[in-house]
Amino acid sequence: MHKAWAWMPRPACTSASPRRAVTTLGLRWRKKVSSAAPAHLRWLSMLPIARRKTTPSSSPRAAKAMRVVYSEAMTAPPQGGSPSAGKPGPVVAAWRAAWPALQVRPPVPVTVEQLCRAHDRDYVEDVLALRRPNGFGTLNAEVAASLRYTNGALLTAARWALQDGGAVAAPVSGFHHVCWARGGGFCTFNGLMVAALALRADAPGLQVGILDYDYHYGDGTEDILRRVGRTGITHVTAGADWHRGADASAFLDAIPEHLATLAHCDLVLFQAGADPHIEDPLGGFLTTTELQRRDELVFQGLRARGTPVAWDLAGGYQKPLAKVVDIHVGTMRASVG
Ligand SMILES: [Zn+2]
């Protein structure tokens, strides 16, 4: 743990040593879905089509589309020393300025039941009712009101990606440090696990990959996986192995290996953290060019395999916020190829 990270609030589940996540291989999944299926399940009928998209040219529309899940309900005032709660609005504004044809769809908020697949029910209900602090360490009604939408944004993006292929962005943060029953590290509900478990509840054979390239170790995700089991979910967290001073070129060279670990997955949830930037006060070993290369390698690699991807912003703490927004603009540029 480096000094800058040491001051951040940490969840209770951080005692376990970082370790490389276990790959869980499963049977390929097949399921027929009625055309009368509810709207939120219609992506199921599209999945076999998505799997046939094994070359980039087979889905040019999906590859070029700039798709975002966003509404103002996802944004709350920044607090607790982190800009994350307030990032969705400025990031989407920057994306819209760069790409006026951006396709924007509002998030379907997750239910309390969906949150409780990844978290202790008392924790979920206490946080939403302001009886317990959120992951920023505050009791804030606007943050509480945004949480079902921020978590829903990644799930909505995942379903959109599964249905149409390609990459879909959810401009949200604050997921990977929250454990089964305790938030912290600016994370309140683990949207990665909430999305993975919701998708697998709809389609138990679905294989979901979590590629966490935030600077910090995804300890909360690991804690929840230990609790609920790893079946159908493969977790790769760069923070387990790559720290300040690490060899940037070695990290970039390792990305194909990470992607190979996720080759069996029907969908990847990609945490495109901005805090691995070398000037980030809480992170830092990649230059702007290297961070851009990280994203290009990820999206090119997933596109080559025909793997749909839903991605989120994760951390980023440089000031002014425009420096962080610029990194997220770079990730969007990489996502559309
Ligand atoms: Zn981080």
What lies within 8 Å, CB to CB, of 88 at 6+ separation is 70, 74, 75, 150, 153, 171, 172
Report the alpha-carbon distance of residue 168 to residue 268 in Å, rounded. 11
Write the pLDDT tens digit of every residue in 10-34. Answer: 444 544 444 443 333 232 333 333 4
Has residue 133 been placed in a domain?
A: yes
The CA 217 to ligand 1 mean position distance, Å, reads 8
Has residue 63 been placed in a domain?
A: yes
Nearest Cα neighbor of 43 from 170, 206, 164 is 164
Q: What is the mean pLDDT of the chain?
A: 87
Query: Within a 13 Å sphere around the CA of 46, how many CA atoms are in the beta-carbon half?
Result: 18
Whole-number pLDDT of residue 45: 57
Report the alpha-carbon distance of residue 89 to residue 86 in Å, rounded. 7
Has residue 7 been placed in a domain?
A: no
DSSP 249-313: HHHHHHHHHHHHHTTT-SEEEEE--STTBTT-TT---B-HHHHHHHHHHHHHHHHHHT--EEEE-
Has residue 12 been placed in a domain?
A: no
Report the alpha-carbon distance of residue 32 to residue 44 in Å, rounded. 8
Has residue 17 been placed in a domain?
A: no
Nearest Cα neighbor of 186 from 227, 240, 236, 147 is 147
First to last CA, the chain: 35
Tell me how many domains the chain contains.
Answer: 1
The DSSP letter of residue 13 is: T
**Three-state DSSP class for residue 138:** coil
Tokens coding 287: 């230059």
DSSP 84-122: GGG-HHHHHHHHHHH-TT-EEEPPPPPPHHHHHHHS-HH
For residue 264, the domain's CATH number is: 3.40.800.20
The CA 197 to ligand 1 mean position distance, Å, reads 23
What Cα–Cα distance (Å) separates residue 224 from each residue in 118, 227, 266?
Answer: 6, 5, 21
Has residue 26 been placed in a domain?
A: no
| DSSP bridge partners of 212 | 237, 271
Whole-number pLDDT of residue 39: 56
How long, in residues, is the chain? 337
The CA 215 to ligand 1 mean position distance, Å, reads 5
The secondary element (H helix, E strand) that includes residue 210 is: strand 208-212
Q: Give the structural domain span for 230.
A: 32-335
The CA 56 to ligand 1 mean position distance, Å, reads 31
Has residue 22 been placed in a domain?
A: no
The CA 336 to ligand 1 mean position distance, Å, reads 24
The CA 64 to ligand 1 mean position distance, Å, reads 29
Write the pLDDT tens digit of every residue in 95-129. Answer: 999 999 999 999 999 999 999 999 999 999 999 99
Report the alpha-carbon distance of residue 248 to residue 176 in Å, rounded. 23
The CA 275 to ligand 1 mean position distance, Å, reads 6
The CA 239 to ligand 1 mean position distance, Å, reads 8
The CA 200 to ligand 1 mean position distance, Å, reads 26
The CA 205 to ligand 1 mean position distance, Å, reads 31
Positions in the chain short of pLDDT 70: 1-64
CB atoms within 10 A of CB 308: 30
Has residue 118 been placed in a domain?
A: yes
The CA 317 to ligand 1 mean position distance, Å, reads 9
What are the phi and psi torsion angles at 83 (to 5°)? Answer: -85, -5
Write the pLDDT tens digit of every residue in 39-54. Answer: 555 555 555 444 434 3
